[in-house]
Amino acid sequence: LNKIDELQEVLIAGSFERPTSTDCMDIVSPVDGKLIGTIPICASATVEHAAESAQEAQEEWRLTHYTERYELLQKAADLIEANKETFAKELTWEQGKPLGDSLIELEGCIGYFRGAAEDIKRLETGFLPIFDPKKRVITVRDPIGVIGVITPWNFPWDIPCFNIASILASGNSVILKPAEQTPLSGLRLIQCLQKAGFPKGTVSLVQGVGEVTGEAISSSNLIDGISFTGSTETGRAIARAGSSNLKRLCLELGGNGPMIILDDADLDIAVADVALSCFWNSGQVCNAGERILVQEKIHKEFLEKVLLEAKNHKLGNPFDEGVTMGPMNNEEVALKTDRHIENAKEKGAKILLGGKRASGFPTNLYFPPTVIDGVTTEMLLNKEETFGPVCPTITFEDMDDALRITESSKYGLQASVYTRSIKKAFYMAERIRTGTITVNEANNFWEGRLPWGGVRASGMGRVGGRYALEQYTEIKTIIFDLSKS
């Protein structure tokens, strides 16, 4: 792949342009260390310009008939579909995931646009009872207005599409700021939306770094809501900045998913799911298996099996056939993984597999599957989100002990429980405080039409299918007095 000159462009008021007098930054591929392109770091003036045009667009766009939005969303899906192979290659180049996984990510995005187009046709409104017999009441759902979408680098196509499809379907305007590490996927998506014919100003793209461009979005008084996916720390900064004009916030934040394996579980199923949840996308997944809680009686057998399973995961060039793990995306996330492993070693945990970066690759970001035993609640691997290809094993005595360990982390995104007993499954599922729990299914199980979101440090708000339409709209109550007209 060659350097992409268009990365310097942003979309504002319906035209692609190159902002002048802004700082710039080079974007380098984690796969081969080569330059992908240079992005502008858009400052407040550029963001405000985008926000003004998005507000202007709102006047008409929010009132368009849903059939018009349906057509545009379907056209966007067609354009993504027509170019999915090229987009998948670019995604792998800038993010580092295996090419097959990139293609699956693109397929999902086509589904989000088609799904949102269908959902908006079926969005129900209400006809409410009221005490006064002379009155009638209906409720409708109004768009929030202009929504800033700030996204991370781990799913650079999926996360923007997952949110933007529903945001546009429900009549909002959108300003996207992709992660600085993966600006190309964001650019390609916005080019598709522009080509599909969304009216001027309904869709904008700005590029840059979080502290400048992201901060300008969260603090702009012309922006009505934020759809943020990223770390808990950034989520807090956005909530503070967004309070200036009481923005409607949807915060999809970090996780520290416990996978709890009770001693009556089908161990082969559990082990395969653990390896998938810990190593897929090199563990850079919000609902990855971050902590593997294993009941004492099956601990030894679990370790033997998980080591065999981990060895089936192949690290290598993500463009090569058979490779299941490419490089990690960036030095910062790899350093965090190094730090968490070092902390566990210092506190007495044992590295059974991997544990440090692999040599002999074009960049220093290739990290092998890592299995660690003897992890305790004091270790960073248990308390914080690691976001690397690590399977840290913690043993527990009984279900209440497993619940105590689960609660020793502040996050509440997704958890999983493995057992053959429906009674035990319910005991755990009713007590664990997370947005989602899977029973005998991988922690990183994902279905884009189900309600998605976290509790506690994992965020607020629910997206996914019709839940996203509710998230990105507000109920308006209309009262008719039949006696006065």
**Which residues contact ligand NAP by CB under 6 A?**
150-154, 159, 177, 179-180, 209-211, 214-215, 218, 229-231, 234, 237-238, 252-255, 286, 385, 387, 413, 454, 459
Kindly state the smallest distance separating residue 241's Cβ from ligand NAP, in Å: 7
For ligand NAP, the closer CB: 217 or 402: 217
For ligand NAP, the closer CB: 230 or 318: 230
In a 3-state reduction of DSSP, which class is residue 459? strand
CA distance 337 to 357: 10
Label the pairing between strands 248-252 and 459-460: antiparallel
For ligand NAP, the closer CB: 153 or 418: 153
For ligand NAP, the closer CB: 30 or 230: 230
Kindly state the smallest distance separating residue 329's Cβ from ligand NAP, in Å: 8
What angle is formed at CA 410 by the lines to CA 369 and CA 356, rounded to 5 degrees?
A: 20
What angle is formed at CA 434 by the lines to CA 114 and CA 111, rounded to 5 degrees?
A: 10
CA distance 271 to 452: 25
Kindly state the smallest distance separating residue 54's Cβ from ligand NAP, in Å: 17
For ligand NAP, the closer CB: 341 or 457: 457
Give the CB-side neighbour count of residue 390, counting CA atoms within 13 A.
36
> Counting every residue, how long is the chain?
485
Residue 247 CB coordination number (10 Å): 25
- 125 phi/psi in degrees, rounded to 5: -115, 180
Kindly state the smallest distance separating residue 385's Cβ from ligand NAP, in Å: 5
Q: Which residue has the tokens 């670019």?
A: 90
Kindly state the smallest distance separating residue 121's Cβ from ligand NAP, in Å: 26
Helix residue ranges per DSSP H, 253-386: 267-279, 299-310, 331-346, 380-383
For ligand NAP, the closer CB: 330 or 395: 330
CA distance 479 to 134: 10
Q: Considering the candidates 9, 252, 290, 385, report the single residue annotated as catalytic.
A: 252
Helix residue ranges per DSSP H, 197-243: 215-219, 232-242
Contacts of 247 (CB under 8 A, 6+ apart): 218, 223, 224, 225, 226
For ligand NAP, the closer CB: 176 or 267: 176
Q: 171: alpha, beta or left, given left = phi > 0 and alpha = psi -120 to 50?
A: left
286 carries an active-site annotation: yes
Kindly state the smallest distance separating residue 452's Cβ from ligand NAP, in Å: 6
Helix residue ranges per DSSP H, 362-409: 380-383, 399-407
Retrieve residue 269's tokens.
């199923």
Positive or negative: CA dihedral 66, 68, 69, 74: positive
For ligand NAP, the closer CB: 93 or 302: 93
Positive or negative: CA dihedral 228, 105, 335, 31: negative
Contacts of 184 (CB under 8 A, 6+ apart): 4, 7, 27, 36, 37, 90, 91, 93, 94, 156
For ligand NAP, the closer CB: 6 or 233: 233
252 carries an active-site annotation: yes
For ligand NAP, the closer CB: 271 or 276: 276
Residue 350 CB coordination number (10 Å): 14
Indicate the burial class of 241 (C-beta count within 10 angstroms; 0-12, 13-18, 19 or more).
Answer: middle
Q: Considering the candidates 109, 286, 385, 391, report the single residue annotated as catalytic.
A: 286
CA distance 274 to 270: 6
Query: 115 near 448, Cβ under 8 Å?
Result: yes
Positions annotated as catalytic residues are 252, 286
